[in-house]
Structure 1
Amino acid sequence: AMAPEAPLEQEPRGRETVLLVEDEESLRKLARAMLQQLGYKVLEASSPGEALALCEKHEGEIHLLLTDVVMPLMNGNELSQRIRAMRPSVRKLFMSGYTSNAISHHGVLEPGVAFIQKPFNRQELARKVREVLDRA
């Protein structure tokens, strides 16, 4: 017999707006699809520069920055600081194919920041995004 679908409460949903920054197109499309399936509104950028431009011109709120850590020209941490300067209430979640330990050793991320390791599935993303958005 087919296993029943996992109950929905394991995949918390939301309606917030997420700014997704990922320079690899296939990964960006995948993450966008996952987020949209979970109910989020997605603004997507393929580079930090594009993300900053979106931040300036987007008229609504942006609740979460979901960004790759390691990108050409500007890393995710630097990008998040610039975005925080424009939009102080934005939450941030970093993603990378490297482990969080490897990255914090390189001083790219402050300890204790929210981090999800690639590759991730939709359930992992769903939980992590809600965890960051629901943090007091």
Structure 2
Amino acid sequence: MSHSPSTILVVEDDAIVRMLIVDVLEELEFQVLEAADAGEALAFVKSTNQVIDLMMTDVGLPDMDGKALATKVRELRPTLPILFASGYAENIDVPAGMQVIAKPFSIDQLRDKVKAMLPA
């Protein structure tokens, strides 16, 4: 019996970019939750019956930056892997269990990064 697909929460305020990321992840057979800002993302995270295996968030969000969001998310789900998407080439420092992918990224880069971060 195959295990159910992993669920990825995508937090991205740019609707077109978010749609592209969601399309890619769905093609890779992930379940995807979409949030346009940190508030929407936290609503998913606070929902105790909502499975989330990984959160991918843009660093720049309108209501709260991605790192502040990640801090709040980790208070609620301490083990959740978090992937930051950043348009800035310089390395942002991220806590343990979090990684960064530089924008723009290829489909292959996204797939490899997500698969590497998900529990086997």
Q: TM-score range by the shorter chain?
A: 0.7 to 0.9
Paired-residue identity, %: 39
> For 1:100 and 1:62, how far apart are their aligned partners in 2?
28
2:112 corresponds to which residue? 127
Tell me the equivalent position of 2:32. 42
Question: Unaligned regions of 5+ residues in structure 1, if any?
Answer: 1-13
- Determine the structure 1 residue equivalent to 2:102: 117
Q: Deviations over 1:85-108 (max 9, x none)?
A: 11122101000111142xx3xxxx
Question: CA 1:111 to 1:55, structure 2 compared with 1: closer, same or farther past 3 Å?
Answer: closer
Structure with larger Rg:
1
Q: Secondary structure at the match of 2:118?
A: helix
TM-score by length of 1: 0.77
Partner SS for 1:114: strand
Shift of 1:111: 6.6
Distance 1:87 1:67 in 2: 15
Output the CA distance in 2 between the equivalents of 1:57 and 1:110: 25
Measure the CA separation in 2 of the matches of 1:54 and 1:39.
20
Q: For each residue in 1:66-93, what CA deviation from the matched residue of structure 2 results, as whole angstroms up to 9, or x when unmatched?
A: 0000122211111011111111221010
1:33 lines up with 2:23 in the alignment: yes
Q: TM-score, length-normalised on structure 2? A: 0.87
Please provide the CA RMSD for this pair: 1.9
Structure 1 outlier segments of 4+, above 3 Å: none
Which residue of structure 2 aligns with residue 59 of structure 1?
49
Say which of 85, 105, 108 aligns to 1:95: 85
